[in-house]
C-alpha cells in the first residue's frame, strides 16, 4: 500500500472582507510551494499579457473571466493542495456581501477556517459577519491572517491593534482564534516561509499553521441514528430484496439489533446488510457509512424517518421546534410564508410561527420579537411543521439537529434545532407511540393479509352535516364492496359512543371529551384495519383538527375523506365532496374508482 | 475510514439523494475513467443495479475502442444504455474533422448541442436492446430533470466552482454568479418547471483518487489509458482528432498511481491533451456555460 493511502484530507475555508486579499494569499501559497500545474500559471500569465494588465496571484483562483473582470471571487472555488502531512481542499469564499450565501456554502463543508483581515482597512463589516457565520456553522478552529503588512510598513503596532479588536469580537460571540499571523500575499512574507521584513514576528507561517489544525475525530459512543434515505425494491431488475437505505449519522448497529423508526414508532430487527463488491459479509455498520439493510418484517416506513435502536434513547418527535436560523433568502422570512423544512432526509412544509429575536451578524445588535427576518440576519424563532417529524437537538446530535429552509425552490437559510416544543397532538402521539411499541405482533403480517384478501386495508371516512345522507352512502358502499367479494365493514361513530365510550360523557359538553371520542374512534379503526379490512366510518361535522387526530392514530396514507352535503361547515381538508342531492350510486362509483387508483382493490376487467 | 472510503460514502449519499428526489434521472457516461467510477459508485449505491438510464453523447469521432468498451459493459452489467447525437450537424458535415468549422464550434455542435437535444428529448435517443444487442430508437421522450455528471473540481478552473447539485435553466445555461447555497448535506432538490439540475458526486475527487479507487475496486477501464509499448498513454479521453496521448511509461493502474503520486505529471494540466481547451482562452468556461460537461 502506498504511503499516500494514509494521508488525511482536510477542508479549510478562507474567508474575509472583499479585497482583503484571500485569493492572493492562496495563489501565493500554491506558487511558493510549487503546487501549480504548469498549464495554469502559464495560461493566466498569457491572459494577463494579452489583456495588458499586471499578473496577480489572485488570478490563479479567479480562473473565470467574469471574475477577472470584476476583480472579486463570485463563488467558492476549491483548491487542491498538499503538504507532507496531509492533503487540503482550500475553499476560497467570496468576501463580497452579495455572495454571503456562497461563503456559507464554502464554509459549511470546512473543518477549519482562515480569516483574512486587511492591515490597511482593518476589521470591516464582513470580517465580523464571516467570523460569526464560521462560528455558527460549527467551525471551532480559526486562524486569523492580517494581510498586506507591506502596505503598513510591516508595523507591529498595526498588527497588534487589529489582533486586539478582532479577539474582542470573537470572544463576544463565544469563540476565539488559535493564532494571528501577519502576512503579505504579494511579497510572500509568512506565507510559505518567514520572509525578511518582520523580525518582530516569531510565530508560525501560514503553511505551518495549516498543518497545526487538528482533524476533528468523530465522537463515538453516541446512540445510533440513521435518517432513512430510501426504501429500495428493484423488482423490475429481478431483485426481490426490500432494503432500507441511508447513511449512519452516529453510533453503530449490527445484524439482529431491533430498530425503531421515528416518528411512526414502527419497529423491526436488522436481518442483513446488503452491499455491492464488498470484500466480506457485513454484520455491522457505524458512523458515516452509507448502508442498506433488510428487516425481519415488511413494515411500512418512509424516507425522512429516523432509525434508532430500541435499547438506546430515540430522537424527539414534534411539529413545533425552537431553532436558531440564519437567513440568506431574497425575500425576508415572514410568518405568512410557507417554506420547506429539510432535516436529514426529511422534507416537510413549515411556517415560522414566531420570531423571538433577530441579531445583526456584523454589529451584534439584538432586536426582540420581530415581524420579519431580513437577508443575512440571524434569528431565534419557532417553526411549525405541517406534520410531526423526528429530529434531534443540535447540542446532542450535530447531523440530525440541523436543518435548512427552502423558499421558492432554493435553500435560503438554516442552522440548528435547540428545543422540541409541545404541539396539540403530543399527548395522542405519545399514546400511539407506546401502543406501537407494546404491540404484540402475530405471525401473520399486513402483507400476508393483503395477499390473502386481495385488498389493502383502508379507511374511508365519511363526514358532513346532519341528515345529508352520509350513512346511506356508507352502507351502500359497504354492500357494493361486499358483493364484489371484499372484506369490508361499516362503523358509525354512534356504534362506539355507547359502548367503547360509555365511561366518558357525551360529546359536546367540552372539547376534551369530543377529542377523546375521536381518539377512541381512531383507535378502534386502527384495530379493525389491522385485521386487513376496508373500513367505512361515518361521523358528523369532522374538523381539520379532528382529522389530524385520526391521522396521528391511523396511517395517513391509508385514509380517504369524503364530505357529504352542499355546505361545508367545518375547516376540514377533504379528498372529495358530494352534494346533497347526488345519488349514492354515483358517490360509490367515484370512491371505488379512487380505491382502484390507489391500489387498495384491483380493477376487474 | 480512510479518505478514499470517505469520498466513496459521500458520493453514494449524493447518488441516493438524486435518485430519491428526481423522477426523470439520467447519468452521463462518457466512457472515461471518471464517469466509469461514477457508474461503479451507482452500482454500490443501488446494490448492484443502476436504476436509471446511462446517457452517452456520441460525436461519431470517439476513439473506436471507447464505443466497443461502452457496449461491452452495458451488456455485461445490464445497463439501460441510451445514446444521442447531433445528426443534423453530422449529416451536413458541420464538423472540425470535415474542415467546415473550428474546434470550439465542433465541440459545441457535437457535444453541447447534442447533449441539450438528448436531455430534453428534442433530438434522437437510441436505446440498447439487450435481446438483439443493438440500438433502437428510444420510446421514452420525457426530458431528464436530474442529470448526474462525473465532473471533478480539480480538473480545471471553472469546474472548481460547481455545486454538488447545480441548477441549469431552460437553455441549459449555468449562472455561475448566482447559484443557490448548499449547506452540509442538504442539496438543491427542488426546482422550477422547465429547469434541470446537474448532480456532481465526484466534485471532491482528484485524479489520483480516481485511479486509487479503480485499483481498490478493480474497476475495468479502457486500455487507451495505458502505455501499450509506444511510450504514450491517454490521460483524458475525447474525440480522436482533438485528443493527444501524453508521454508515459505507465502500463497499468499501479504505475499510473505511482506516476501521479510522485508528481511526474504535476506540471502538466490533466486536459492538456485536449485541443479545444486551448482554443477557449485557456479554460472550458465558454463551453461549460452553454452546457458542456
pLDDT at A103 over 80: no
pLDDT at A74 over 50: no
Contact A173, A365 (CB under 8 A): no
DSSP state, B113?
A: I
Write out the three cell numbers for A446: 399486513
B190 and B271 both lie in a single domain: no
How many residues are recorded in chain B? 293
* A66 touching chain B per CB within 8 A: yes
Residue A4 binned pLDDT confidence (cut-offs 50, 70, 90): very low
Q: Where are the domains of chain A?
A: 3-212, 220-309, 318-427, 442-597
Task: List chain A residues with CB under 8 Å of B186.
Answer: 342, 404, 411, 414
- Distance, in Å, from the CA atom of A345 to the CA atom of A347, rounded to the nearest integer, reads 7
B180 to chain A: closest CA residue: A410
Q: Which domain holds residue B257?
A: 207-277
pLDDT at A57 over 70: yes
- Distance, in Å, from the CA atom of A409 to the CA atom of A400, rounded to the nearest integer, reads 22
Instruction: Please tell me whether residue A534 adopts helix, strand or coil conformation.
Output: strand
Q: At what angle do helices B33-45 and B3-21 cross, to 10 degrees?
A: 70
B147 and B268 both lie in a single domain: no
Rounded to 5°, angle at Cα A452 from A451 and A458: 70
Task: List chain B residues with CB under 8 Å of A105.
Answer: 163, 179, 181-183
Task: List chain B residues with CB under 8 Å of A47.
Answer: 281-282
How many residues are recorded in chain A? 605
Q: What is the rounded average pLDDT of the residues A144-163?
A: 96
- Distance, in Å, from the CA atom of A530 to the CA atom of A548, rounded to the nearest integer, reads 20
Q: Which residue would you say has higher pLDDT here, B47 or B166?
A: B47
pLDDT at A37 over 80: no
Give the pLDDT confidence score for residue A297 in this predicted structure.
Answer: 85
Give the pLDDT confidence score for residue A139 in this predicted structure.
Answer: 86
Closest CA to A247 of B184, B153, B219, B29: B184
Q: Do A38 and B177 touch (CB under 8 A)?
A: no
- Distance, in Å, from the CA atom of A492 to the CA atom of A514, rounded to the nearest integer, reads 15
B63 and B124 both lie in a single domain: yes
Give the pLDDT confidence score for residue A35 in this predicted structure.
Answer: 75
Residue B282 binned pLDDT confidence (cut-offs 50, 70, 90): very low
Q: How far is A481 from chain B (nearest CA, A)?
A: 34
B240 and B187 both lie in a single domain: no
Task: List chain A residues with CB under 8 Å of B48.
Answer: 239, 276
Please give the CATH architecture assigned to the domain spanning A442-597: 3-Layer(aba) Sandwich (3.40)
B184 and B113 both lie in a single domain: yes
B72 and B184 both lie in a single domain: yes
Q: Which CATH superfamily is domain A318-427 in?
A: Translation factors (2.40.30.10)
Give the pLDDT confidence score for residue A206 in this predicted structure.
Answer: 94
Give how many domains chain B has, as a whole number. Answer: 2
Least CB–CB distance from B51: residue in A79, A237, A345 = A237
- Distance, in Å, from the CA atom of A362 to the CA atom of A369, rounded to the nearest integer, reads 19
pLDDT at A1 over 50: no
pLDDT at A126 over 60: yes
Q: How far is B278 from chain A (nearest CA, A)?
A: 9
Q: How far is A110 from chain B (nearest CA, A)?
A: 9
B172 and B91 both lie in a single domain: yes
pLDDT at A583 over 50: yes
- Distance, in Å, from the CA atom of B253 to the CA atom of B225, rounded to the nearest integer, reads 9
Q: How far is B57 from chain A (nearest CA, A)?
A: 25
Say which residues have a Cβ less than 8 Å from residue A63's Cβ, sequence separation at least 6: A40, A44, A77, B156, B157, B158, B160, B283, B285
Closest CA to A566 of A555, A552, A577, A554: A577
Phi, psi of A419 (to 5 degrees): -160, 145
Closest CA to B29 of B13, B19, B41: B41
Give the pLDDT confidence score for residue A64 in this predicted structure.
Answer: 43
Least CB–CB distance from A43: residue in B2, B266, B282 = B282
% of chain A surpassing 70 pLDDT: 91
Q: Classify residue A402 as exposed, middle or buried by CB count within 10 Å of its CB (0-12, 13-18, 19+).
A: buried
Q: Which residue would you say has higher pLDDT here, A199 or A4?
A: A199
- Distance, in Å, from the CA atom of A313 to the CA atom of A267, rounded to the nearest integer, reads 14
pLDDT at A69 over 60: no
Say which residues have a Cβ less than 8 Å from residue B194's Cβ, sequence separation at least 6: B169, B170
Q: Do A47 and B282 touch (CB under 8 A)?
A: yes
Handedness of CA A33, A35, A37, A42 (dihedral sign): negative
pLDDT at A482 over 90: yes
Say which residues have a Cβ less than 8 Å from residue A437's Cβ, sequence separation at least 6: A260, A265, A267
pTM assigned to the model: 0.83
Q: Do A290 and B45 touch (CB under 8 A)?
A: yes
Strands (E), chain B: 25-28, 54-57, 81-84, 125-129, 134-137, 146-148, 165-168, 196-199, 232-233, 246-247
Task: List chain A residues with CB under 8 Å of B215.
Answer: none
Q: Do B158 and A64 touch (CB under 8 A)?
A: yes
Q: Which residue would you say has higher pLDDT here, A177 or A27?
A: A177
* A172 touching chain B per CB within 8 A: no
pLDDT at A79 over 60: yes
Q: Which residue would you say has higher pLDDT here, A336 or A82?
A: A336
ipTM: 0.91
Q: Do B217 and A80 touch (CB under 8 A)?
A: no
Name the helix (H) or strand (E) containing A275.
none
* A22 touching chain B per CB within 8 A: no
Closest CA to A192 of A201, A204, A180: A204
> Which has the minimum average pLDDT: A256-260, A554-558, B156-160?
B156-160
B74 and B198 both lie in a single domain: yes
Counting one residue from chain A and one from chain B, the pairs whose CB atoms sit within 8 A come to: 173
Q: How far is B285 from chain A (nearest CA, A)?
A: 7
* A411 touching chain B per CB within 8 A: yes
Which residue, among A75, A246, A305, would best test binding to B if mutated, counting the most B CBs under 10 Å from its CB?
A75
Q: Which residue would you say has higher pLDDT here, A140 or A522?
A: A522
Q: Do B281 and A65 touch (CB under 8 A)?
A: yes
Give the pLDDT confidence score for residue A102 in this predicted structure.
Answer: 75
Task: List chain B residues with CB under 8 Å of A245.
Answer: 16, 45
Q: Do A38 and B163 touch (CB under 8 A)?
A: no
Q: Tell me: the pLDDT tens digits for A234-271? A: 988 889 899 999 999 999 999 999 999 999 888 899 99
Q: What is the rounded average pLDDT of the residues B159-188?
A: 76
Q: Which residue would you say has higher pLDDT here, A515 or A308?
A: A308
Rg, C-alpha atoms of chain B:
18
- State in Å, rounded, how far the first CA of chain A is from the last one: 64
B220 and B83 both lie in a single domain: no
Which residue, among B40, B177, B200, would best test binding to A if mutated, counting the most A CBs under 10 Å from its CB?
B177
Q: Do A63 and B160 touch (CB under 8 A)?
A: yes
Q: Tell me: the pLDDT tens digits for B198-210? A: 999 998 898 999 9
Q: What is the rounded average pLDDT of the residues B248-263?
A: 89
Write out the three cell numbers for B219: 474497476
> Which has the minimum average pLDDT: A11-25, A329-343, B1-15, B161-175?
B161-175
B2 to chain A: closest CA residue: A6
B81 and B196 both lie in a single domain: yes
Rounded to 5°, angle at Cα B46 from A346 and A228: 20
pLDDT at A381 over 90: yes
Residue A580 binned pLDDT confidence (cut-offs 50, 70, 90): low
Q: Tell me: the pLDDT tens digits for B34-93? A: 999 999 999 999 999 999 999 999 988 888 899 999 999 999 999 999 999 988 888 888
- Distance, in Å, from the CA atom of A306 to the CA atom of B231, rounded to the nearest integer, reads 55
CATH number of the structural domain A220-309: 2.40.30.10
Task: List chain A residues with CB under 8 Å of B163.
Answer: 105
- Distance, in Å, from the CA atom of A55 to the CA atom of A422, rounded to the nearest integer, reads 61
**Where do we find the cell 472540425?**
B96
Please give the CATH architecture assigned to the domain spanning A3-212: 3-Layer(aba) Sandwich (3.40)
pLDDT at A209 over 70: yes
pLDDT at B291 over 70: no
Q: How far is B219 from chain A (nearest CA, A)?
A: 10
Closest CA to A562 of A549, A547, A552, A581: A547
Least CB–CB distance from A80: residue in B45, B154, B272 = B154
pLDDT at B159 over 90: no
Q: What is the rounded average pLDDT of the residues A427-440?
A: 86
Write out the three cell numbers for A254: 449490527
B95 and B198 both lie in a single domain: yes
- Distance, in Å, from the CA atom of A156 to the CA atom of A149, rounded to the nearest integer, reads 9
Contact A22, A15 (CB under 8 A): yes
- Distance, in Å, from the CA atom of A555 to the CA atom of A261, rounded to the nearest integer, reads 14
HEC assignment per residue over B99-123: CCCCHHHHHHHHHHHHHHHHHCCCC
Give the pLDDT confidence score for residue A433 in this predicted structure.
Answer: 84
Q: How far is B242 from chain A (nearest CA, A)?
A: 18
Give the pLDDT confidence score for residue A2 in this predicted structure.
Answer: 39
B214 and B155 both lie in a single domain: no
pLDDT at A73 over 70: no
Q: How far is A288 from chain B (nearest CA, A)?
A: 7
Regarding beta strands A346-360 and A316-327, do their DSSP bridges make them parallel or antiparallel, or are they unpaired?
unpaired
Distances (CA, A) of A80 to A2, A4, A20, A229, B40: 20, 15, 22, 30, 24
Residues within 8 A of B (CB atoms), A 258-317 only: 274-277, 288-290, 292, 303
Q: Do domains A318-427 and A442-597 have the same CATH topology?
A: no
Task: List chain B residues with CB under 8 Å of A376.
Answer: none
Q: What is the rounded average pLDDT of the residues A308-312?
A: 95
Residue A72 binned pLDDT confidence (cut-offs 50, 70, 90): very low
Least CB–CB distance from B160: residue in A5, A78, A87 = A78
Q: Tell me: the pLDDT tens digits for B130-151? A: 999 999 999 988 999 899 999 8
Q: Tell me: the pLDDT tens digits for B30-44? A: 999 999 999 999 999
Amino acid at each position: 500500500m502506498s504511503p499516500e493511502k494514509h494521508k488525511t484530507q482536510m477542508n479549510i475555508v478562507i474567508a474575509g472582507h472583499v479585497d482583503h486579499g484571500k485569493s492572493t494569499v492562496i495563489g501565493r501559497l500554491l506558487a511558493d510551494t510549487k503546487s501549480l500545474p504548469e498549464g495554469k500559471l502559464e495560461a493566466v500569465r498569457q491572459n494577463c499579457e494579452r489583456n495588458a494588465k499586471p499578473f496577480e496571484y489572485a488570478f490563479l483562483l479567479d480562473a473565470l473571466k467574469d471574475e477577472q473582470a470584476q476583480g472579486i471571487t463570485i463563488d467558492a472555488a476549491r483548491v487542491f493542495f498538499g503538504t507532507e502531512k496531509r492533503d487540503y481542499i482550500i475553499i476560497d469564499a467570496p468576501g463580497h456581501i452579495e455572495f454571503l450565501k456562497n461563503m456559507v456554502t464554502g464554509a459549511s463543508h470546512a473543518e477549519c477556517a482562515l480569516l483574512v483581515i486587511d492591515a490597511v482597512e482593518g476589521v470591516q463589516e464582513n470580517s465580523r459577519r464571516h467570523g460569526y457565520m464560521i462560528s455558527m456553522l460549527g467551525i471551532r478552529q480559526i486562524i486569523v491572517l492580517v494581510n498586506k503588512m507591506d502596505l503598513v510598513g510591516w508595523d507591529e503596532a498595526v498588527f497588534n491593534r487589529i489582533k486586539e479588536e478582532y479577539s474582542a469580537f470573537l470572544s463576544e460571540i463565544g469563540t476565539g482564534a488559535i493564532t494571528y499571523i501577519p502576512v503579505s500575499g504579494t511579497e510572500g512574507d509568512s506565507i510559505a516561509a518567514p520572509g525578511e521584513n518582520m523580525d518582530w514576528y516569531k510565530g508560525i507561517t501560514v503553511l505551518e499553521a495549516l498543518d497545526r489544525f487538528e482533524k476533528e475525530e468523530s465522537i463515538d459512543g453516541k446512540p445510533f441514528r440513521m435518517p432513512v434515505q430510501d426504501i429500495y425494491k428493484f423488482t423490475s431488475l429481478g431483485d426481490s430484496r426490500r432494503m432500507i437505505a441511508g447513511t449512519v449519522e452516529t453510533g453503530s448497529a449490527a445484524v439482529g439489533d431491533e430498530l425503531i423508526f421515528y416518528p411512526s414508532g414502527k419497529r423491526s430487527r436488522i436481518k442483513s446488510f446488503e452491499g455491492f463488491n464488498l470484500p466480506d459479509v457485513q454484520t455491522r455498520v457505524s458512523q458515516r457509512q452509507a448502508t442498506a439493510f433488510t428487516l425481519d418484517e415488511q413494515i411500512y416506513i418512509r424516507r425522512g424517518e429516523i432509525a434508532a435502536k430500541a435499547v438506546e434513547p430515540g430522537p424527539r418527535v414534534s411539529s413545533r421546534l425552537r431553532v436558531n436560523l440564519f437567513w440568506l433568502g431574497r425575500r425576508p422570512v415572514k410568518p405568512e410564508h410557507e417554506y420547506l423544512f429539510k432535516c436529514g432526509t426529511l422534507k416537510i412544509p413549515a411556517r415560522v410561527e414566531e420570531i423571538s429575536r433577530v441579531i445583526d451578524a456584523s454589529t451584534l445588535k439584538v432586536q426582540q420579537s420581530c415581524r420579519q427576518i431580513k437577508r443575512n440576519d440571524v434569528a431565534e424563532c419557532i417553526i411549525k411543521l405541517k406534520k410531526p417529524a423526528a429530529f434531534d437537538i443540535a447540542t446532542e446530535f450535530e447531523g440530525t439537529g440541523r436543518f435548512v429552509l427552502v423558499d421558492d425552490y432554493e435553500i435560503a437559510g438554516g442552522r440548528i434545532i435547540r428545543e422540541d416544543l409541545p404541539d396539540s397532538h403530543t399527548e395522542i402521539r405519545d399514546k400511539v407511540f407506546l401502543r406501537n411499541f407494546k404491540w404484540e405482533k402475530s405471525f401473520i403480517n399486513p402483507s400476508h393479509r393483503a395477499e390473502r384478501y386481495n385488498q389493502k386495508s383502508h379507511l374511508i371516512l365519511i363526514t358532513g352535516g346532519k341528515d345529508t345522507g352520509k350513512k346511506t352512502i356508507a352502507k351502500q358502499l359497504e354492500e357494493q364492496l361486499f358483493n364484489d367479494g371484499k372484506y369490508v365493514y361499516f362503523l358509525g361513530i354512534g356504534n362506539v359512543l355507547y359502548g367503547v365510550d360509555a365511561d366518558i360523557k357525551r360529546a359536546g359538553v367540552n372539547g376534551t371529551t369530543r377529542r377523546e371520542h375521536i381518539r377512541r374512534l381512531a383507535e378502534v379503526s386502527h384495530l379493525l384495519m389491522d385485521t386487513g379490512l376496508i373500513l367505512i366510518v361515518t361521523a358528523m361535522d369532522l374538523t381539520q383538527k379532528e382529522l389530524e387526530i385520526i391521522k396521528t392514530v391511523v396511517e395517513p396514507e391509508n385514509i380517504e375523506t369524503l364530505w357529504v352535503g352542499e355546505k361545508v361547515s367545518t375547516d376540514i381538508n377533504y379528498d372529495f365532496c358530494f352534494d346533497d342531492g347526488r345519488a349514492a350510486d354515483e358517490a360509490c362509483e367515484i370512491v371505488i374508482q379512487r380505491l382502484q387508483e390507489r391500489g387498495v382493490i384491483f380493477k376487474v376487467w | 475510514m480512510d479518505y478514499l472510503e470517505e469520498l466513496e460514502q459521500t458520493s453514494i449519499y449524493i447518488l441516493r439523494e438524486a435518485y430519491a428526489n428526481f423522477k426523470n434521472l439520467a447519468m452521463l457516461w462518457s466512457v472515461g475513467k471518471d464517469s466509469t467510477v461514477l457508474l461503479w459508485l451507482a452500482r454500490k449505491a443501488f446494490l448492484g443495479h443502476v436504476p436509471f438510464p446511462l446517457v452517452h453523447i456520441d460525436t461519431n469521432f470517439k476513439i473506436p475502442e471507447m464505443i466497443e468498451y461502452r457496449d461491452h459493459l452495458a451488456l455485461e452489467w445490464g445497463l439501460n444504455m441510451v445514446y444521442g447525437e447531433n445528426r443534423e450537424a453530422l449529416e451536413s458535415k458541420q464538423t472540425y474533422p470535415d474542415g467546415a468549422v473550428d474546434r470550439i464550434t465542433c465541440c459545441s455542435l457535437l457535444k453541447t448541442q447534442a447533449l441539450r437535444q438528448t436531455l430534453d428529448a428534442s433530438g434522437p435517443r437510441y436505446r440498447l436492446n439487450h435481446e438483439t444487442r443493438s440500438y433502437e430508437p428510444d420510446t421514452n421522450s420525457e426530458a431528464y430533470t436530474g442529470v448526474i455528471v462525473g465532473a471533478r473540481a480539480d480538473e480545471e478552473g471553472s469546474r472548481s466552482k460547481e455545486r454538488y447539485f447545480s441548477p441549469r435553466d431552460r437553455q441549459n445555461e449555468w449562472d455561475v454568479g448566482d447559484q443557490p447555497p448548499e449547506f452540509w448535506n442538504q442539496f438543491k432538490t427542488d426546482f422550477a418547471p422547465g429547469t434541470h439540475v446537474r448532480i456532481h458526486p465526484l466534485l471532491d475527487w482528484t485524479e489520483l483518487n480516481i485511479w486509487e479507487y479503480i485499483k481498490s475496486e478493480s474497476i475495468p477501464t479502457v486500455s487507451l489509458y495505458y502505455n501499450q509499448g509506444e511510450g504514450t498513454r491517454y490521460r483524458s479521453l475525447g474525440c480522436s482528432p482533438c485528443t493527444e496521448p501524453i508521454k508515459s511509461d505507465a502500463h497499468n493502474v499501479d504505475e499510473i498511481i505511482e506516476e501521479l503520486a510522485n508528481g511526474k505529471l504535476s506540471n502538466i494540466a490533466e486536459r492538456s491533451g485536449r485541443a479545444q481547451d486551448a482554443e477557449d482562452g485557456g479554460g472550458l468556461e465558454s463551453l461549460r456555460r452553454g452546457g458542456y460537461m
